[in-house]
Homo-oligomer: A and B are copies of this chain.
Amino acid sequence: MASEEWSKSEKTIARRAFDLAYERECAALADEVRRLADRIAGPDDIWKIHDFLRRKRKEIDEKYDYRYSVLIFVFARLLGEGWLEESELAGLSDDKLAKIQFLAGTADQQS
């Protein structure tokens, strides 16, 4: 999979889908931060927000890795976690889509 080739149009689709997922996940995170901030009842709740954001930053930094050598895995994860829909990857080669669906566990089971 390391020798995966990405055409120019595939790169455009990939970049758009990647950015879309990132925006969505960050928007959900922002909602969660606002919810936690509204519920602060004491100092401990502040430090819990800090710990939560530290974990999330690490997780998101690791997840959103835009290297073509790993992008199939990244999209599979984003699909599996619900940050992307398959239709948003339309235009990638059938081979790439099949791999992404297989890894995400969303491939048809009919074979």
**Stretch of A3-11, A23-31, A86-94 that contacts chain B:** A23-31
> Measured between alpha carbons, how far is A80 from B29 in the docked complex, in Å?
37
Q: Is the CB of B53 within 8 A of A50?
A: yes
Residue A22, interface by CB 8 Å = yes
Q: How many residues of A contact B (CB 8 A)?
A: 21
Q: Is the CB of A23 within 8 A of B50?
A: no
Q: Is the CB of B33 within 8 A of A40?
A: yes
A-B contact pairs, 26 of them (CB 8 A): A22-B43, A23-B43, A26-B42, A26-B43, A26-B46, A29-B46, A30-B37, A30-B40, A30-B46, A33-B37, A33-B49, A34-B37, A34-B38, A34-B40, A36-B37, A37-B37, A37-B38, A47-B53, A49-B49, A49-B53, A50-B50, A50-B53, A50-B54, A50-B57, A53-B53, A54-B54
